[in-house]
């Protein structure tokens, strides 16, 4: 009995020492999002993600057929909604993606490609806690179909062609400065030197009559 109590006591002491070392380690790193997560953090996060993903999703097969139209829809959706963080090629090499903690993953690598269709679908729909990945579920069948289309496109990332990447640029969100620059170009090409026609006053019917 004494031996058992001594073993339990030493186990508690060791665990407390490990916990204290972990706290000092975290305190030394601070709360900055700039460094890469440590190996321990990365492994623990991946293990927890896999463990916490509901089992029923892991075996799901993509119910949407991988047609040319499906891939095109997934490509457009990815460029419009996902590329700001993940980049058009899925590398995560964007201003936002590089500055998350953890960084946006390179989705072309086995860390993502090795997931099942159902696991990728679950992450798209529900996001991942304590990361920059939001959940995109709309609670509709149409939204689920869009997520399954994205799963097909994510499978395509390792073999994207230059033509596909160039086409995606048309759907990338643009900044206010880019929109203004395009407006000026369109005005110039459309004949901005012609006198502008005054816009109708939407409040004209509500003005009081002249005295």
Asked if residue 141 belongs to a domain, the reply is yes
86 assigned to some structural domain: yes
Q: Is residue 134 part of a domain?
A: yes
Structural domain range at position 34: 29-186
Examine residue 16 and state whether it is found in any structural domain, yes or no.
no
pLDDT tens for 126-174 read 999 888 899 999 999 999 999 999 999 999 999 999 999 999 999 999 8
DSSP label at residue 65: -
What contacts 87, CB < 8 A, 6 or more positions away? 93, 94, 97
With respect to residue 170, please indicate whether it lies within any of the assigned structural domains: yes
Query: Structure pTM?
Result: 0.71
Please indicate, yes or no, if residue 193 is contained in any of the structural domains. Answer: no
> CATH number of the domain that 128 lies in?
1.10.760.10
**Token pair recorded at residue 56:** 């029923």
**Does residue 172 form part of some domain?**
yes
Helices (H) and strands (E) in the chain, counts: 11, 0
Q: At 25, is the pLDDT very low, low, confident or very high (cuts 50, 70, 90)?
A: low
pLDDT computed for residue 101 by the predictor: 87
Is it true that the peptide bond before 102 is cis, omega within 30 degrees of 0?
yes
Band (pLDDT 50/70/90 cuts) for residue 14 is low
Has residue 88 been placed in a domain? yes
Determine the Cα–Cα distance for residues 77 and 81; give it in Å rounded to an integer.
Answer: 6
Domain count, the chain: 1
């Amino acid at each position: 009995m004494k031996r058992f109590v001594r073993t339990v006591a030493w186990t508690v002491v060791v665990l407390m020492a490990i916990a204290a070392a972990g706290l000092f380690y975290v305190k030394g790193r601070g709360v900055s999002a700039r460094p890469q997560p440590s190996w321990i953090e990365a492994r623990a996060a991946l293990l927890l993600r896999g463990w916490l993903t509901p089992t029923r999703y892991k075996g799901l097969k993509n119910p949407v057929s991988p047609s040319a139209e499906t891939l095109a829809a997934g490509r457009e959706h990815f460029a419009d909604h996902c590329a700001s963080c993940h980049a058009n090629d899925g590398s995560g090499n964007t201003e936002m993606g590089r500055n998350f903690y953890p960084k946006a993953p390179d989705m072309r690598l086995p860390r993502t490609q090795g997931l099942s269709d159902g696991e990728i679908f679950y992450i798209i729909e529900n996001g991942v806690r304590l990361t920059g990945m939001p959940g995109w579920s709309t609670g509709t069948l149409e939204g689920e179909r869009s997520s399954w289309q994205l799963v097909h496109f994510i499978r395509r990332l390792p073999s994207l062609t230059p033509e596909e990447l160039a086409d995606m640029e048309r759907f990338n969100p643009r900044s206010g400065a880019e929109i203004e620059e395009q407006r000026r170009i369109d005005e110039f090409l459309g004949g901005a030197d012609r006198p502008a026609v005054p816009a109708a006053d939407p409040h004209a019917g509500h003005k009081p009559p002249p005295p």
